[in-house]
Amino acid sequence: MAKIILASHGKLSKGMLDSVKMIIGSLADGVETYSLFPGESANDYANELKERMLQDEEDYLLICDVQGGSVFNSLVQLVTNERVKVVAGMNLSLVLELIVANQGGSINLDTILEASKEGILYKCKDNLVLTEDSDF
């Protein structure tokens, strides 16, 4: 199993973990969060994490809020370590899928990322298909 860390600007990662725990409960107990606040440096956290990795043999899955942001840019440098994978574009369905797959011991990132993309949906009156079972 990989150590999963949710990383974001502000409190998004902590809020995400709260929502995840509402849905899957104790399956999320080992998940950690990192929140970057004004005046702080994501590089400092990346360096702390790099030192931590020298002390253990765990695999790490770092899930960042947005590609190209300071959190992502700092943490993606850690992928030079083969035990580290970084994903950007954190959303609830992605995080849930990753945590559940991680419990099984095997994470197929390509499959999970594709499923997460397919879970993004846009509806409006023009593309709404109503059926007899609809609650409208």
CATH code, domain carrying 48: 3.40.50.510
pLDDT score recorded for residue 133 = 62
- Cα pseudo-dihedral 49, 55, 56, 57, rounded to 10: 100
> Is residue 135 included in any domain, yes or no?
no
Q: What totals of helices (H) and strands (E) does the chain contain, helices first?
A: 5, 4
Cα 55-72-92 angle, rounded to 5 deg: 95
Residue 132 lies in a domain: no
Range of the domain at 70: 2-127
- Tokens 């360096």 -> residue: 47
**Domain for residue 68, yes or no?**
yes
* Within a domain: 22: yes
> What tens digit of pLDDT does each residue of 51-62 get?
999 999 999 999
The helix or strand, by DSSP H or E, that contains position 102, with its residue range, turns out to be: helix 92-103
134 band by pLDDT with thresholds 50, 70 and 90: low
pLDDT tens digit sequence for 71-80: 999 999 999 9
- The answer to whether position 134 is within a domain reads no
Cα angle: 34, vertex 115, 10; to 5 degrees: 20
Count of structural domains within the chain: 1
